[in-house]
Chains A and B, each alone.
Chain A
Amino acid sequence: MTNSDRNRLKDKAFQVFGIFCTFIGLAVLAIFLIDILIDGLGRINWEFLNNLPSRRAHRAGIYTAWIGTLWILLMTTVIAFPLGIAAGIYLEEYGKKSRMATLLEINIANLAGVPSIIYGLLGLEIFVRLMALGGSLLAGALTLSLLILPIVIVTTREAIKAVPRSIRDGSFALGASKWQTVWHQVLPASFGGILTGVILALSRAVGEAAPLIVIGALAYVPFAPASPMDEFTVLPIQIFNWISRPQAAFTTNAAAAIIVLLFITFILNGIAVYLRHKWQKRIKW
């Protein structure tokens, strides 16, 4: 066997191995999806989406949960989006390179890896107790905002960093201030990337149960929240609650709720992919 034959064989072997690895990941996901669909798809109907929670499995619905999830989604966006983007812009465009800045940078990156339940405890102490917000939507949204803020900041910085230096130079050379340059050049050119990051971060927040349970979001809320100060539940908590019950009918409910949650996540991810695609097509350096 010649050297080049051996190389070709290695090449082939790695290819097969790679396909195998990819397949394992996809297969597990597919089995999970099929299982959930078989269990839950039949349970999804108008009543299920519109009913309040109940002790009787066949009458229980996820109305309060998905309304709560949408509230949380919206409020977290409103809080985390401007804060995260502003912080990212500051760190990337304004902050001077210093030891302090490097320290800050490392810490923000580390914060992205802190377990979500820790954020729940932080939220419990600060928002629920200190600020006396109770187990309200506002407390929940603030807690989840803390959770995704590091991700939003890091993706914002990455997106901003991808805008070439020459664009900023061109803008400065025409007499633009730093803010004008950020507003007219850097942000429009990086907005696709920023948005993608924010949406992916949100789709993580949507799936969180632990930190919200810690701040006191309830599984049983007899009414849909109507204001940010109302108590609430979200789909993951509802799912967690149903799954821990012994009756099979509740497990079916949980499967159905999982399908709805997955649907919301898929839509969010779909939007992210679409935006990235659209922006990338528009701007080529």
Chain B
Amino acid sequence: MSKKNNKLEAINLNAYYGDFLALKNINVAMEENLVTAFIGPSGCGKSTFLRTLNRMNDYVDGFRIEGQILLDDQDIYKKEVRVDELRKQVGMVFQKPNPFPKTIYENVIYGLKIQGINDKNLLQETAEKTLRQTTLWDEVKDKLHKSALALSGGQQQRLCIARALAISPSVVLMDEPTSALDPISTAKIEELIYELKKDYTIIIVTHNMQQAGRVSDHTAFFYMGELVEFAKTKTLFTSPKDTRTQNYITGRFG
């Protein structure tokens, strides 16, 4: 992997919840315009790691890190970094669709609105663009001003992706984005991920190894807070180097 394509990079990263060491000496680089998947059993630290990448763990009492996380070679935990600026760069989609109890349109433009952008044309263009990107436009164009809570789960999740894209991030973090969805909605989101990687760097946490196999270029296997193995997805699934990886992907635990 050539260094210059690294979008996000963790260097000697330790993370703690109070005294508990949740991530142990993680060193990994995520390349630009690729999909990187994090897999591993529950509690292995993969979600914790994902949430350190946009500093969502800042709100957790007792959470702290050692080491560095570089976004475009800049340490995102440096004092002068503003969290809101970081999150404009690094968007996030959650496990359970979490549309705001507002209209579809208001959901999409929320990120722009709180930046103080009020230009109606710009807001409308962005809304249409991102809803098209997420293939939601045709389904919702007649009810943009109806409540987002009336959408189906899969539509809600695509809306949440559109909402994240509207502030033009360069990285999109996805925390088990399809675990609450039916197979058809899941397929749509996976197709979407495939489309999106042309323009974005995507990092996805998943419990579903088939999904990791289908959507990702690189896969990282986490176990008990350690990054056990990181490789091209195909390599990791066909010839894992570590026995723990092998045991996990063959379904012996997890």
Instruction: Report which A residues bind B (CB closer than 8 A).
Output: 96-97, 164, 166-167, 169-177, 180, 184-185, 188-189, 282-285
Known: A166-B98, A175-B88. 6 other contacts (CB 8 A): A166-B96, A171-B110, A172-B59, A173-B54, A174-B87, A175-B114
Query: B114 touches which one: A167, A174, A188, A189 (CB < 8 A)?
Result: A174
Select the residue from A164, A170, A175, A188 with max chain B CB neighbours within 10 A: A175
Asked if B235 lies at the interface with its beta carbon under 8 angstroms from chain A, I say no
Select the residue from B83, B101, B167 with max chain A CB neighbours within 10 A: B101
Given A166-B96, A284-B149; A172-B101 close (CB under 8 Å): no
**Is A283 touching B101 in the complex (CB atoms < 8 A)?**
yes
Given A169-B56, A172-B56, A174-B110; A189-B167 close (CB under 8 Å): no
**Is B98 touching A167 in the complex (CB atoms < 8 A)?**
yes
The 9 closest A-B pairs by CB, nearest first: A174-B111, A166-B98, A173-B92, A175-B87, A175-B84, A170-B98, A283-B101, A176-B114, A180-B114
A and B contact pairs by CB, cutoff 8 A, 5 listed: A175-B111, A175-B115, A180-B114, A184-B114, A284-B149
Which residue of chain B lies nearest to A97 when distances are taken between CB atoms in the complex?
B61
**Is A189 touching B92 in the complex (CB atoms < 8 A)?**
no
Query: B94 touches which one: A166, A185, A285 (CB < 8 A)?
Result: A166
User: B111 — which chain A residues lie within 8 A by C-beta?
Assistant: 174-176
Given A170-B160, A174-B91; A189-B56 close (CB under 8 Å): no
Given A176-B114, A180-B114, A184-B110; A171-B56 close (CB under 8 Å): no
Asked if B100 lies at the interface with its beta carbon under 8 angstroms from chain A, I say yes
Range for the number of chain B residues in contact with chain A? 20 to 34
A167 to B97, CA, bound (A): 10
Shortest distance from the beta carbon of A176 to any chain B beta carbon, whole Å: 5
User: A285 — which chain B residues lie within 8 A by C-beta?
Assistant: 101
User: A97 — which chain B residues lie within 8 A by C-beta?
Assistant: 61
Which residue of chain B lies nearest to A163 when distances are taken between CB atoms in the complex?
B101
**Interface of chain A: mostly helix, strand, loop or mixed:** helix
User: A188 — which chain B residues lie within 8 A by C-beta?
Assistant: 101-102
**Is B84 touching A176 in the complex (CB atoms < 8 A)?**
yes
Asked if B164 lies at the interface with its beta carbon under 8 angstroms from chain A, I say yes
Which residue of chain A lies nearest to B97 when distances are taken between CB atoms in the complex?
A166
Asked if B158 lies at the interface with its beta carbon under 8 angstroms from chain A, I say no
Asked if B218 lies at the interface with its beta carbon under 8 angstroms from chain A, I say no
User: B84 — which chain A residues lie within 8 A by C-beta?
Assistant: 175-177
Which residue of chain B lies nearest to A185 when distances are taken between CB atoms in the complex?
B100
A34 to B212, CA, bound (A): 72
**Is A173 touching B100 in the complex (CB atoms < 8 A)?**
no
A235 to B191, CA, bound (A): 69
Which residue of chain A lies nearest to B92 when distances are taken between CB atoms in the complex?
A173
Asked if B163 lies at the interface with its beta carbon under 8 angstroms from chain A, I say yes
Asked if B85 lies at the interface with its beta carbon under 8 angstroms from chain A, I say yes
CB neighbors of A among B140-165 (8 A): 147, 149, 160, 163-164
User: B61 — which chain A residues lie within 8 A by C-beta?
Assistant: 96-97
Shortest distance from the beta carbon of B125 to any chain A beta carbon, whole Å: 18
**Is A189 touching B101 in the complex (CB atoms < 8 A)?**
yes
Select the residue from B83, B100, B163 with max chain A CB neighbours within 10 A: B100
**Is B96 touching A173 in the complex (CB atoms < 8 A)?**
no
Map CB proximity to A onto B71-106 as digits: 1 under 8 Å, 0 otherwise. Answer: 000000000000111011001101010111110000
